[in-house]
Structure 1
Amino acid sequence: MAKTHTSRPKIAVPSGACDTHMHFYDDSYPASPKAWLFPPNHLPEDYRAVQDRLGLDRMIVVQPVTYGFDNRCILDAIARIGDSARAVVTVPTDISDADLAALWDKGARGLRYHQMAGSMTEWSDLPVMAARIKGTGWHLQVQLDGLELPDRENLIADLPCTVVIDHMGRYSECIAPDHPAHQALLRLAAQPNVWVKLSGAYHISKAGKPDYADVAPLARALIAQGTDRLLWGSDWPHPTETDDTMPDDARLIDLLADWRLSEAQREAVLVANPARLYGF
């Protein structure tokens, strides 16, 4: 049986704090034909215990690749949770304006582009949907192997809408801040329409838990550019991890202190920034 963490964050987690990247899994919903990851059920009541332990008040539920274009698992969940939850959904490019509006009414605020294994989307979809949501409250959320950023930078930079980049780039190997891929991320993050999640350190790190120390220089380089468009997410329930590599979510929040964010900056990352982006 997987270890159940009981620790609480050492930092003071401010009221209104938001986890901007987590997932629900429920096998009563059908998996996508492209799915390769089939985690056990992780339901709202399971996350509530994590949320209470961490002192979090709000959540952004991100559509897992397991369910493809069928967003019912997460939308049904946030309907039960209420106004403290928002969703990031995955949709085809031929979705109607009426169906997009209906998703907004159900609490969706972002369109997910998970450009890795199991993806239902293509890179060519991003400019199409960016043009459709330009000037609205919607955003595109992009996850990729960040080592591809030098090749994808121009495409992302030209998107005429708000863009959120997952997991500090989610590099498939831990690189130095002066690496061309991280320099590409820093250039993108300097754009006024681009946000970055300070999340997924364990996806990048080779040093491992609990400190993920080799990721700290990458995070600090992002933070040094400014914190007004940075977000924090747990990536709970960490379905790619084993018992040996499973992170403690309390430690993931405390990384914000390791990365030298001041108390005011942590308040921005955990409360003010997500409130602004997701409309709390």
Structure 2
Amino acid sequence: MDTPDHPKIDCHVHIFDPARFPYPQDNFYQPTGHEIGTAAQLGQVLDAHGVQHALIVGPNSGYGFDNRCLLDAVAHSAGRYKGVAVVPLDTSLAELQDLQAAGVVGVTLNAALLGVDYYRAAGPLLERLRQLGLWAQVQVQNDDLVVLKPLLVDSGARLLFDHCGRPNPTAGLGQPGFQALLGLAETGRAVVKISSLAKTSVQPFPHPDAWPFVQALLDAYTPKALVWASDWPFLRAPERIDYGPLLALFGRVVPDAAAQQAMLWDTPRRLFGFTG
């Protein structure tokens, strides 16, 4: 599974480079030590595992609304990377168009961090995303999606959900938030990242209690609307995480070769416009 000749796209990584792009002093969290991952370090990790492209997600930790580090990495990647930016709710259409021209394919809505109430006023932003064909990348947890689902459905925007929707690992497949995520598959404009199983588990690696959630997503979405991601460089990880074992775990959770090909390459290449 984890071989250099197997084409791959990693759909959720972060860049932290405080030496070149210092953190604002009032940010949520300042990654340090092994949590720092520069664009150069990311490239080395991807090269070692035969990963051709990556979707760099602007983190609320470290940089907040400052997308300079992300945009610099995308600009110097010769098409290897695309970005997902963090923006205020009142970001204008012109500002979003500038980000899109710089290689940004979506913006984050991190309800898991900022809370669902913060996004009750996100309707105008979602409309602008819809107009531009940009993704609303949504991170929820537990039953957040029950509250946000009407807003997201009514917006008509393309929806990209982080980390399997981050269901409560002890509440089972029937929990309302996860059922809401499964139901969004019917819209035909929702996609889910199979990533960060540690966030959907109370058991150590390989997180077997998270596997039923992955299977339910496979059944509802099919590999045509699912992608894989590492969440490198593993910010605030509950235990040691390494890139190679994550790829091997994906091969165990999704053993079908055709599904692997779709989720690692065909689907993200089509959805996010990667070429080469």
Per the TM superposition, whether the score is higher than 0.5 is yes
Q: Select which of 246, 252, 257 maps to 2:246.
A: 252
Once residues 33 and 173 of structure 1 are traced to their aligned partners in structure 2, the CA distance between those partners, rounded to angstroms, is 32
Aligned to 2:37: 42
Indicate the residue corresponding to 1:274 in structure 2.
268
Matched, 1:33 2:26: yes
Identity of aligned residues (%): 28
SS at match of 1:256: helix
Correspondence 1:103 to 2:69:
no
- Partner-residue secondary structure (3-state), 1:59: strand
After superposition, residues 203-218 of structure 1 pair within 5 angstroms as 203-209=199-205, 211-218=206-213
Query: How far, CA to CA, are the matches of 1:125 and 1:88 in structure 2?
Result: 20
- C-alpha displacement of 1:141: 0.2
2:128 is matched with: 132
CA distance in 2, matches of 1:256, 1:36: 29
Output the aligned Cα RMSD. Answer: 2.1
Report the alpha carbon displacement of residue 254 of structure 1 after superposing the two structures with TM. 2.3
**How far 1:136 moved relative to its partner?**
3.0
Deviation, 1:15, is: 4.8
1: distance between equivalents of 2:84 and 2:223? 22
Distance 1:174 1:110, change over 3 A: farther
State yes or no: 1:150 paired with 2:141. Answer: no
Q: Is 2:195 the counterpart of 1:199?
A: yes
SS state of the match for residue 112, structure 2?
A: coil
Q: Amino acid of the residue matched to residue 247 of structure 1?
A: I
Q: How far does residue 95 in structure 1 lie from its aligned partner after superposition? A: 2.4
Q: Relative to structure 1, is the Cα distance of residues 165 and 14 closer, same or farther in structure 2, using a 3 angstrom cutoff?
A: farther
Q: Give 3-state SS (helix, strand or coil) of 1:20's partner.
A: strand
Q: 68-77 vs 258-267, which deviates more? A: 258-267
Distance 1:187 1:98, change over 3 A: same
1:14 to partner: Cα distance:
5.8
Distance 1:39 1:233 in 2: 22
- Match of 2:86, as an amino acid? T
The alpha-carbon distance between structure 1 residues 248 and 112, as it changes in their structure 2 partners (threshold 3 A), is same
Which position in structure 2 is the counterpart of 1:3? none
Counterpart-to-counterpart distance in 1, 2:27 and 2:128: 26
* Amino acid in the other structure paired with 2:260: R
Residue equivalent to 1:93:
89
Shift of 1:42: 1.2
Secondary structure of 1:128's counterpart equals helix
Q: How many residues align?
A: 267
Q: What CA deviation, in whole Å up to 9, does each residue of 1:28-80 have, x standing for no partner?
A: 33326241243343101211222122210001000010211110011111212
Superposed, 1:228-243 pairs within 5 Å as: 228-241=224-237
SS in 1 for 2:31: coil
* Amino acid aligned to 2:24: A
What are the equivalent positions in structure 2 for 1:38-117 lying under 5 Å apart?
38-40=31-33, 41-65=36-60, 66-117=62-113
Q: Describe the SS at the equivalent of 1:122.
A: helix
Contact 2:89 2:125 in 1 (8 A): yes
CA contact (8 A) 2:83 2:106 kept: yes
Greater CA deviation, 231-240 or 25-34? Answer: 25-34
Q: Name which of 1, 19, 23 aligns with 2:10.
A: 19
1:165 to 139, 142, 161: 161
How far apart are 1:239 and its partner, in Å?
A: 1.2
CA distance in 2, matches of 1:11, 1:30: 34
Question: Following TM superposition, by how much is the alpha carbon of 1:215 offset from its aligned partner in structure 2, in angstroms?
Answer: 0.3
Amino acid at match of 2:52: D
- Give the 3 Å change call, closer, same or farther, for CA 118–152 of structure 1 in structure 2: closer
Partner AA of 2:39 in structure 1: P
Shift of 1:12: 4.8
Higher normalized helix content (fraction of residues):
2
Distance in 1 between residues matched to 2:265 and 2:25, nearest whole Å: 33
